[in-house]
Structure formats: C-alpha cells, structure tokens
Structure 1
Amino acid sequence: METPPQWALPKLASPRVEISRRADGATILANTLPLGEYPRCLGDLLVANAKARPDQVFLGERSAGPTSPWRTVTWAQALTSVHSLAQALLDLGAGPERPLMLLSGNSIAHALLTLAAMHVGIPAVPVSVAYSLVSRDFAKLQVITQQITPGVVFVEQRKPFIRALEAAGLDALPLICADARQDPGPRAAKVERYESLLQLSPSEGVAHRFAKLGPNTIAKVLFTSGSTGLPKGVINTQRMLCSNQAALARVWPFLGEDAGRGRVPVICDWLPWNHTFGANFNFNLILMHGGSLWIDAGKPGPGAFEATLANLRERSPTLYFNVPRGFELLIPELEADAALRERFFANLDLVFYAAAALPQRLWTRLEQLALAARGHRLLMVSAWGSTETAPCSTAVYWPIERAGVIGNPIPGTEIALIDDGEKQELRVRGPNVTPGYWRDAQLSSAAFDEFGFYRIGDAGKLADPAHPEQGLEFDGRVSEDFKLSSGTWVHVGKLRLQAIAACEPLVADCVVTGHDQRELGLLVFPDLPACRKLAGLDREATAEQVVSHAAVRARIERGIEAHNRDHPSSSTRFARVVLLAEPPSIDANEITDKGYINQRAVLSHRVAQVEALVAGGPGVLTIGAEDGA
C-alpha cells in the first residue's frame, strides 16, 4: 500500500486532555496545558506592536473597488489614530453606558474606531449591515438601539443608511461618517467627518482611562439571535478576548515563534466584524501576533466573490479562514487557475473552517489542490464555540483526516458532557465565557447551570472514547433534533448535510420537518445559479420559474431517492420535498448575514408550507423510494 504524502506542519502543541467524572455523571474534559498569563487588554497589544514594528502594515483595504490600489495603515499610525479617535468619542459623549454603535461593514475606519472605543472603556457595538441595508422593517435594529442606548453612531457612507437611521431613532445622535463627499443632510444632530477627527490631540484623560482598563472591562457587545427570538447583546470582556488568544497561542505555538523571527501572520479576510469569528478570532489573532490583515470587501455570494478572488491574487495569506460556502466557491477557481492556486498556497500554514461542517467532498478537493501545489498535505483545522465564548471553546491543533472533528478544550477552558436523551450536551466554563447579556439579568442567569457552565445548546461526542486526545466531534444542536410520532429520534444536523450532498450542487440549504409526524419532509432553498444552469435558463429567470422547472425538480427528486436508498429508516428517509421560491428572510430570523439557516425560525415562519408538505399538496415532490423500518 502506498504511503500517503506527509504533512508539512507548523509547530503545534501535543494534544492531551484530562477527564474527570462529576457525582451527577457528567464528564468533564480539560486541556493538560496551563493557560498561563494573558494580556490585560487588547490595547496593550496595540501599544506593544506599535513599538516593536512601527512601520509594518497592520491593516489594508482597497481604496475604491476590487481593482483599485490598496490603502494601508501601519501599527504606529494606528496607535496615533486610536488616541485621536478615543478623544473624539469622549468629546461626543460616548461612555461605558453610551456605547459606540457601528453600522457599516469591515473597513480601516471601522477597525480604528473599535480600537479607540475599547482603549477608553467604551463598549463597541458592531451591528450586522443586513439589519440596516437588507431589512425591510428595521425591527432588529430598533431592538438593538433600545437595548444599547448608544452615544455615538458610525457609518462609512451616510446616504445608504438614512432610512435605517431614521427608523431606529439614530438620526438624532452624533454621527461619524467616513465619506467626506456625503451631504450631512438636515436630520443628523451632529455629523463629524472621520478624517477630521484623526487630527485631534488626545488629552490626559485618554491615557488615564486606558490605565484603568482591566479584565472585567466590557470591550464589545456582539448581538446574536440564537436559535429563536430577537437579538440579544452578548457582553465581551477584555478577559474573554485576551485569554482566548493566549489559549490559542498555546496550542498553535508556531504563531508566536514565527512572529519572533519576523514572519508574522498574514490574513486576507471578509468575515464580518459583527460576528465573533471575524472579529474576535481573526482580527484579535492579528493583534496578538503583530500581523497584517488585508480587508476583503468581497464575500461568498453572487456578484461579490470576484472581489475576493482579486484580493487573493495579490495577497498571499499565511492563514486562511472561511465558512463552507466560501470554500465551495473558492475551490473550483483554484482548480481552474494555476496562478491563483500558486499564489494562494505559497505561504499558507493552515486552512481553517468554522461555523458549519465542511462537506468531505470539499475537504478532499482542497487537500488534492495542496498536494498539487506544494507536494505535501496542508493542515486543515477547525474549532468550536460561540459569541458567548469569545469564540473558541475547543480547537484542533493536530493533523486530522476528515471534517467534523472540533478539537480539544483550549487551555483554561473546561467542557462538560451532559447526557441528554441519545446525545451529550456540551457546556463550557472558563475565562473566555461571557458574564452574561447586556442589561438582561434574567437571560444571563438562565444561560448558566448550577456549576457555572454556560449552556451553549450544542451536542458533541468523543471521536474515539478510548483515545480522548483525538478530540470531540460536533453532533448538532440539541434543540434542533426531534422525534417522529413513532418515538424515533431524528438527528437533524447530519441529515441536513446528507440531503444537500445528495442534490449537489442544486441545494443551497434545507430544513428538515417531521416533528411528531410519521414521516420526514424537506424544505429546500435552491441554489438559483446552479439550478438555472441545469435548466438552461438565463440569469433573468425568476425563482418561481426555477423551482417549477421540470429538469430541476427531476434532479432533486433523483438525489433524494438515492439518499433514501442509502438511508432507508424512518428517521433518515424523506417522504416529500418542497422547493421554496421565497429566499430566507433576515427579518424573520431565518438566516444570518453569513448565510446560516435557522431551522426553528424557518419552521415557525413557513407554517403554510410545512402543512402543505405534510398533506402532499400541489407543488410537493413525493419521493418514490420504499419505506424503511
């Protein structure tokens, strides 16, 4: 048998865990590596990097469009700007109880204003751009505004946000606007030009407030809707953010050692900063190790991914982070473009996926690309956590052969496995865990058990109980699983991925139905570009035309029939399928701006379609495979 090609691995810690049992039967996992000391605050990292590498690029962005020149800010320039912007925020009335609200997406201005707010103890509150520019009723933005009571608001350009500002009552607050060409208009109480604020001289008050920062200081409030309900503000303290980066540095020691030799991490990244992945994992990793972050204005969506490709052709990352949808779009481009492939893999230490399971077909193709470009296998890793855990609770830091492993507890963090029916619920305790939710004591209290473990709502299991150091596997959301009327459990997370794979590439996402029913059903959100291509339709074809096209319906029917043949039991086979023409709604909490489907919200919002699915009404695909046991 031929020996598989070896990895060329960066320096990693040895995976070791210790296991203990509580009197109530819970299994507790902890890392044998001590966490050790961690920085007082993120601002200390900014100060240290400005001193150690003043002329190195910290942040870069395209000045205007995907082919325009890069505008950069060095570490020394960033620190000077942060001092000036901190003074401006204090002058405008922001403070610990009147945070800075940031409505625009990732940019240098966004980054420096966030650092400036945190530098003087003002919580930064980045809000999903979709709540202002995609939403029709602005309900979530209104809820967030009422909870936060912001002191200052930032928008990159005022004009696109005018309706949202007015609807949420933000037009009466001091507004910082980065685009000097924008007419301030009559409604804003006070409009400050970002570039003008950079000229301010900081007072002694800035240094005084910075000196008072401590581990319990609130750095950010990040909003998440969870599985249901309205947005809730997750408190992110300096302890959470700094301890999380210190723990990651312990299990990925190559980051610190390389930085000490002058090879700093380089990231080209689109992930939004209102989410913990892009903001707390990626951005803070650059702060921790003095690297360079090239802000990617693209994203894995129609008409936007071309910008990502243009950026990757010019900026070769040492670490690459993305969600599965991003890899699904990137891999065909790497396969087709040798120059892009060479540039992408030239300096790459590892590839990191998170937020959803990476289909094994994508894993295999990416591994083959790395072999062709480098002659050895590439380290592909993941982690697990949430907004409430800053974000890492576990991390992979050894070679793994397949997707699905979420790693071991990071140093300083404990994972409790609690029996819950046929699954084990995961709970988290450590310095990376939030103290609670902004101005909501009841919700904060309910989030923790009697042992102080955060109830994250996910399930997991040991990949190999005989060798716990091989890590945990993600086992879906506890709340998503349900029982059929027969009493048989349906494990939604795994089943959903199988359905998507069976119909590749026609299904963007899907929702499993069947709670207390005899049979399973499937609500399908089609991948419209892929379906149009299959059907020979042009890009102007409507979603209704796509989902009703005979070729599309036949291909999806065949895919689900094949799935049913391989998975014939009542808890895995689908009896009926509905193709949805209406895209998932962000106002109804059906989808996040990163493209993740909220199963429970879809079922609640689309009751009529679920009822039609059960009844087998018009438009429903009835799958003709035989019933299983």
Structure 2
Amino acid sequence: MTPALLAAEREALRAAGVAAGDRVGWLGLNHPSMLACLAACEEAGVALVPLNWRLSAAELQWISEDAGLRLVRCGPPAGATAPSPAARPARGAADVRVIAYTSGTTGRPKGAMLTAAAVQTNIRHGISLFGLTREDRVLTVLPLFHMGGLAIQTLPALVAGAQVILHPRFDADAFFDAMVQDRPTLSLLVPAVMAALVAHPRWAGADLSCLRAVGAGSSDVPPDLIAAFHAKGVPVQQVYGMTESGPIAIAQSVEEALAHPGSIGFPVGGCEARIAADGEIQLRGPNLFAGYRNDAAATAAAFTEDGWFRTGDAGRQDAEGRFWFTDRLKHLIISGGENIAPAELERVLLSAPGVREAAVVGRPDARWGEVPVAVVVPGEGFDEAAVLRHFEGRLARFKHPRAVVTAASLPRTALGKVQVAALRALVAG
C-alpha cells in the first residue's frame, strides 16, 4: 500500500460524499488498493464491506442492498459484476469498521458487524500468535474478502511493520516461485491449498526453509497434510475461529503445533472458550462481532443467555486444557475454505423442473475437503443435467452441486426432519 493508493481511496470516498456511518463495498482480486480502501474507511469512520468476487451478480446485489452500500470500489477485474449501490442509508453505528458477510444455515448471507475494537483486538492476537516483527515477510495467497485472509496475518503484519507479499489469488507455481524469490517467513493456508501444494510436482524439491511456520484453518486440517509440512521443517499452527470471532479465537503456538499436531490449541489472550454440555465450542471476548446487520433474531440466537457465542462446532478439551475440534453441529459444507449453506442450494433446487423434494449434503473430496451433492426425489419431467444447469446465474459456481443422487424419499426423523447422517451415507455410496 503506497501513499498514492491511500490518497486515491480518500479522494474516491470524498467525491462520492461518503461520511461517517456509511458502508463502502470493495470488489476484486487481492490488491493493495483494497487495504488502502480499508485504511481510508477507518479514517472516515466508515465500514468496509468486502465482497466475494466469486459470487453471482444476484448474490452480490442482495448483499449490496442488505448492507446499504453508499459506494462500491472495484479492484482489478475478477470476473464478477459490481452491484449497483443502494440509496444512501441513514447514518449510525459509526464504530463498526468491517461488515463481513458469511453463509448461514438459513441460506441467506448474514453481515457480521466487527467494531474497531474487535478488529484491533484481532490484530494484537495475530501479532502475538505469530511473533510478527518488522523483519517478517508475510505471503498472503488467501482472499482478502474473507476475514481469515485479511485479518489473521495480513493486517497484523502491516501494523507490526512487516512486509506483505500479496498475490492476487492462490496459484501453486506462484507460491513456489515466492519461496525462491521473496523468501517469506510466514504464510496462511487452508487445507485445499495445502493439498494442492503437496500434490504439485514441485513439492518434492521445494525449499521451504524460509518459512518459520504456516497458519492453517477454516476447516479441520487432515493429519497427512500437517505431516507433509512438518517433514519439510515447517510447523503448521492451527487457528480456530470464524468471521464472527474476528476471526482468531483459539490457536496453537509453534511449540504446540509441533508437540500436539491436530489440536487447535488454547484460547488467545482475552478470549474465553468453553465446551458446553452438548459438546459445542462456545466463545466470549472482545474479539467477537457486535451482531448481524438487519437480523436481530439471528443475533439473539447466536448467543447463550449468559453471553457466550455459539460456534456451531463440536469439540473437546484434553487433560491439559487444550482444545480439539471434533465435528460441526451446524449443517454447513466447507469446500476449499468457502462456507456453503445447504439451505441456499435447496431453495434453488426446489424451483427446478421435475424436483419434488430435495436436500443437499457434503461429500468428502480429496481436493476440496468436501463438495455439495444434491439428493432429489424426482417428479414429472426430471432431468439431471437440467437440474445442474438450473444453478447457472443463480449461485456462485463453487456452490453448485457436483452431482445429483436420486431417492424414492428423503430420510426423515419421526418429526419430519431430514436426517443429515443418512444423507451423507447415501451420497457416499
């Protein structure tokens, strides 16, 4: 990020009449101008809304309207269509600095509002967790439209005075080239990226000695991927959290990563974590979001009566108090680090010709972790290819079902609820 970029973003906000309390969207591949836009918004008391360029135009338009965007700033083309800004909203909530939209079990994205205090807390967590200093070089390959890519290492690195090597998007060859040319000291990966690197022809001969560690998260990290990086002398520090937690909540130190691979570590400073009676991991602390925009009901449902955030993930603690992730309680599919809400796909499926009933579930996948698969009770005029084509233009391509499995009926409980475990067994077969 250069002074010229920051000046350009300041002028863009001024020219559009953006003022404190407004919301500004940013759409594009990773680029320093996005970080400059965030800085300009911070100065102006404006909330930045990172937009996922992988979404369809219809999805981006819905987020734009829900967020009440005053302006959309665009970076280098990413193949997505910028939404039209909505009418200027009423001002308020000036302390909200980032509104990050995340898929929920209801299927509609929810805007998690992160205050300046939450963002700053997360930055302190990142600096402490990775021991960031001015001498570091952080390679960012994950998308900045996700809080993980933006806030786990990138923002902490900038605040610490470290150099950030920003790739437009993940590319395995560019990653290996960076190991030779830039010699980064840290990077943040997700399991799908780790798997792509380990399977790449350049992996065997790659020199990763410049890396003192990599962070990893977004979904459960397979032990074989951890072992592959450890075999090259690179500790894999697992980071547990989600958009609503800033995202860093529970994490491993380098020592923990080497001594207890597979665990997610201990709560970071100032954040509390507990295992509820039903096995759910619950969080509390200054890093948590301030609620979902325009959704008081979802905000209330996200917290217990005594103020703990319900993560929707199951876990356990060992005798020494470290946490281990065991399963997801929320019915979400995580594919390549992206959250996919089955309900969102089911809404589209049920509008397709020849579909009487439908449900969506994740199927394990070697490359992406899991992928969505549709289970359909066919009706008159059913055509599998037509059902898959029905998703074009309605949802982002990464959300499209990879296959359609037909069934005479959906497995349900006595109360009529679809049995997710039975669906998973059905698509696995």
TM-score for both structures, normalised by structure 2: 0.75
CA contact (8 A) 1:335 1:369 kept: no
Pair 1:230 & 2:149 matched: no
Structure-1 separation of matches of 2:105 and 2:262:
21
Specify which of 360, 365, 379 is matched with residue 228 of structure 2. Answer: 365
- What residue number does 2:242 align with? 386
* 1:337–1:446 CA distance, 2 compared to 1 (3 A): closer
Which residue of structure 1 aligns with residue 185 of structure 2? 318
Which secondary structure state, in structure 1, belongs to the residue aligned with residue 188 of structure 2? strand
How far does residue 103 in structure 1 lie from its aligned partner after superposition? 1.4
What is the CA–CA distance in structure 1 between the aligned matches of 2:168 and 2:58, rounded to whole Å?
26
Change (3 A) 1:365 1:251: closer
Change (3 A) 1:251 1:103: closer
Q: Quote the Cα distance in structure 2 between the aligned partners of 1:383 and 1:436.
A: 22
- Alpha-carbon distance, 1:410 to partner: 1.0
SS at 1:308 equivalent? helix
Q: Distance in 2 between matches of 1:159 and 1:329?
A: 21
Distance 1:511 1:324, change over 3 A: same
- How far, CA to CA, are the matches of 1:102 and 1:426 in structure 2? 32
Residue in structure 2 matched with residue 453 of structure 1 by the alignment: 308
* Deviation digits for residues 188-239 of structure 1 (CA, Å, limit 9, x no counterpart): xxxxxxxxxxxxxxxxxxxxxxxxxx9x721111111123321111111111
Q: Say whether the 8 Å CA contact 1:358–1:403 is kept in structure 2.
A: no
Q: 1:407 to 1:614 in 2, by over 3 A?
A: same
| Identity in percent | 22
What letter corresponds to residue 125 of structure 2 in structure 1? A
**Aligned match for 1:410, one of 265, 268, 274:** 268
Equivalent position of 1:99 in the other structure:
23
Distance 1:95 1:334 in 2: 51
The answer to whether the aligner puts 1:295 opposite 2:91 as a matched pair is no
Matched, 1:425 2:280: yes
* Aligned partner of residue 82 in structure 1, secondary structure: helix
Q: Quote the Cα distance in structure 2 between the aligned partners of 1:356 and 1:335.
A: 25
Q: Distance in 2 between matches of 1:364 and 1:613?
A: 42
Residue 450 of structure 1 aligns with an amino acid whose one-letter code is E
Q: Deviations over 1:155-207 (max 9, x none)?
A: 2357955xx34xx434999xxxxxxxxxxxxxxxxxxxxxxxxxxxxxxxxxx
Q: Give the RMSD, CA atoms, in angstroms.
A: 3.7
Q: Please state how far the C-alpha of 1:613 moved relative to its aligned partner.
A: 9.3
Cα distance in 2, alignment partners of residues 386 and 159 from structure 1: 25
| 1:295-352 per-position Cα deviation (integer Å, ceiling 9, x unaligned) | 11232xxxx43343334432211112111111111124476563xx22x32x211121
Could you say if the C-alpha distance between residues 232 and 480 of structure 1 is closer, same or farther in structure 2, counting changes exceeding 3 Å?
Answer: closer
Identify the structure with the greater helix proportion: 1
Structure 2 counterpart of 1:436, one-letter code: G
Tell whether 2:365 aligns with 1:509.
no
Tell whether 2:65 aligns with 1:146: yes
Which residue of 1 is the match for residue 291 of structure 2? Answer: 436
Q: 1:609 aligns with which of 393, 400, 405?
A: 405
CA distance in 1, matches of 2:147, 2:243: 5
User: How many residue pairs were aligned?
Assistant: 372
Q: What is the CA–CA distance in structure 2 between the aligned matches of 1:359 and 1:585, rounded to whole Å? A: 32
Q: Give the letter for the 1:475 counterpart.
A: T
> Cα–Cα, structure 1 residues 349 and 283, in superposed 2: closer, same or farther, change >3 Å?
same
Letter in 2 for 1:439: N
| Correspondence for 1:115 | 39
What CA distance in whole angstroms lies between the structure 2 residues aligned with 1:150 and 1:442? 22
Distance (Å, rounded) in 2 between the aligned partners of 1:233 and 1:156: 21
Write the deviation string for residues 558-594 of structure 1: whole angstroms up to 9, x where unpaired: xxxxxxxxxxxxxxxxxxxxxx9889989457956xx
Counterparts in 2 of 1:208-227, with a 5 A limit?
217-227=95-105
Which residue type is aligned with residue 154 of structure 1?
A: R
Instruction: Return the index of the structure with the highest Cα Rg.
Output: 1
- Residue 540 of structure 1 is matched in structure 2 by none
- CA gap 1:309/1:452 in 2 versus in 1, 3 angstroms: same
Q: Tell me the distance in 2 between the aligned counterparts of 1:460 and 1:590.
A: 31
1:349 equivalenced with 2:212 (yes/no): yes
Partner of 1:85: 9
DSSP 3-state at the match of 2:264: strand
Q: Deviations over 1:23-69 (max 9, x none)?
A: xxxxxxxxxxxxxxxxxxxxxxxxxxxxxxxxxxxxxxxxxxxxxxx
Q: Distance in 2 between matches of 1:140 and 1:496?
A: 21
- Find the residue that maps to 1:357 and give its secondary structure: coil
Alignment of 1:406-555 (within 5 A): 406-420=264-278, 424-462=279-317, 464=318, 466-468=319-321, 471-480=322-331, 500=365, 509-510=370-371
Cα 1:237–1:159, aligned 2, differ >3 Å: closer, same or farther? closer
The question of whether the paired residues in 2 share the 8 Å contact of 1:385 and 1:392 is answered with yes
Aligned to 2:336: none
Q: What are the residue-to-residue correspondences of 1:36-115 with 2, within 5 Å?
A: 73=1, 77-78=2-3, 81-82=5-6, 85-115=9-39
| 8 Å contact from structure 1 (residues 415, 428) kept in 2 | yes
> CA separation in 2, counterparts of 1:239 and 1:611?
50
Structure 2 vs 1, CA of residues 609 and 622 (structure 1 numbering), >3 Å: closer, same or farther?
Answer: closer
**Residue 240 of structure 1, CA deviation:** 0.6
- The amino acid that maps onto 2:49 is V
Equivalent residue, structure 1, for 2:352: none
Superposition pairs of residues 553-592 of structure 1, within 5 angstroms: 587-588=394-395, 591=398
Summarize the Cα distance change of 1:158–1:415 in structure 2 as closer, same or farther, 3 Å threshold.
closer
Q: CA deviation at 1:106?
A: 1.1
Please report how far the alpha carbon of residue 440 of structure 1 lies from its aligned counterpart in structure 2 after TM superposition.
2.9
Q: Is the 8 A contact 2:5 2:33 kept in 1?
A: no
The verdict on how the C-alpha distance between 1:286 and 1:171 changes in structure 2, with shifts beyond 3 A counting, is: same
The 2-side partners of 1:275 and 1:477 are apart by 20
Shift of 1:444: 2.2
Secondary structure of the structure 2 residue equivalent to 1:419: coil
Q: Tell me how far 1:282 sits from its aligned partner.
A: 2.0
CA contact (8 A) 1:298 1:308 kept: no
Cα 1:281/1:158, change in 2 over 3 Å: closer
SS in 1 for 2:276: strand
User: Counterparts of 2:392 and 2:224 in 1: how far apart (Å)?
Assistant: 29
Q: Match of 1:242, as an amino acid? A: Q
Q: Structure 1 147/513 Cα, relative in aligned 2: closer, same or farther at 3 Å?
A: closer
Match of residue 399, structure 1, among 256, 267, 291: 256
How many Å apart are 1:87 and its aligned residue?
4.5
Answer whether contact 1:241 1:390 (CA < 8 A) is retained: yes
Q: Distance in 2 between matches of 1:273 and 1:279?
A: 5
What TM-score do the two structures reach when normalised by structure 1? 0.53
